[in-house]
Amino acid sequence: MVGMMEINERFRSFPGMRILITGISGFIGSYTAAALLRDGAEIYGLVRPSSIKKAEERLSFLLGDTEVKKIRLIPGDMKDILHVGGMPERLDAVLHFAWDGVNRQEIDDEDIHSKNAACSLELIRLASQHGAELFMDAGSRVEYGIKEDGRMEEGMDCHPVNAYGRNKLRFYEEARRLCKSLDMSYLHLRFFSVYGIGDHPWSIISTLTRELPLGHDVELSACMHRWNFMDVRDASAAVMLLIRHRDLIDEAHDIVNIASVDTRVLREFTEEIYELAGRRGSLSYGKFIQAKEGALSICPVTERLEMLTDHEFREEIGFSEGIKELISFNEYQGGPGSKAEQR
């Protein structure tokens, strides 16, 4: 179960707490749903009808075929959120992880992201109608924009450079006002680079842990900017603790960075993966074409995460441990020379 039980033993349970999660078929949403279910919450997941199979497969991998049946998947679309049937009469909290257009081709599509923001505000109204006292949504480091030294702290001014970041930021500003008017607690979670089993196959971590053990060459940027990686199980554990300590949320601290304390020059991470992959394959620096904003450093400040979890949150999965698990998982999944192929 990729270590879910070991993490959950750190927490008190949420017996009977009803939580609706959008984006439950996605990476962070599925891990968070599995963690909360194991800790006693009743989980409802809003899923597009076309993604139900994907959600079931992801959650079955994390929970097993028996436990996954306890999650109630609700077919529906964020574009018609106020008319989705099958919602429970009462909800205690809503975790909003769904957001279209996060790929490179659509990241700057204003129409897609403005519609995302509008639908998300409707979700807040729905949450209030069902009695929810807490609304959390997944923001992004992209909201900060370009910072010369890469330092990203929740209270600083933001200047996002693409439609995705601008609309995430606009949604936050409108959501905090709406939640206040509806007497709901609100927390905007700015996730940084979360990795793990089930991440996008094109992410740098997925690519390196898949391709290097096969002896392949991987084209990269110069990798001289600073970066930050966090295992998805630690990210979901952080969300759980924020829910547990929701009484600490206030208007002055309604944004929180979800990031690791391990910030380094990106090349240090890539070289570590190369070593853990047995020095197989090769790293070709300076070959990868950057996005329009270029190679930007990210150096998240994480003191607020500590404060809002009453200093209980501690990362459990170091970078090398997480990478070893990914390499081992990929090896057993199949591919030339893998143990799955040899069997």
pLDDT reported for residue 342: 35
List average pLDDT for each run of 10 residues in the chain, which is 343 residues long: 45 80 97 94 96 95 94 96 94 97 90 97 98 97 92 96 96 98 98 96 96 97 95 97 95 96 97 98 87 76 97 96 96 55 35
The answer to whether the beta carbons of residues 291 and 162 sit under 8 Å apart is: no
pLDDT reported for residue 199: 95
DSSP E strands, the chain: 18-22, 42-47, 72-75, 93-96, 134-140, 151-152, 185-191, 193-195, 217-219, 226-231, 255-258, 263-265, 282-284, 299-300
pLDDT reported for residue 1: 40
pLDDT reported for residue 108: 94
CATH class of 15-197+231-259: alpha beta
Side chain identity, residue 61: F
The count of C-alpha atoms lying within 13 angstroms of the C-alpha of 109, restricted to the half-sphere facing its C-beta, is 14
Residue labelled with tokens 């729905």: 126
pLDDT reported for residue 290: 61
Q: How far is CA 104 from CA 78, 100, 125, 137, in A?
A: 21, 12, 30, 21
**Beta bridge mates, 316:** none
pLDDT reported for residue 20: 98
For the entire predicted model, the pTM comes to: 0.92
Q: Where are the domains of the chain?
A: 15-197+231-259
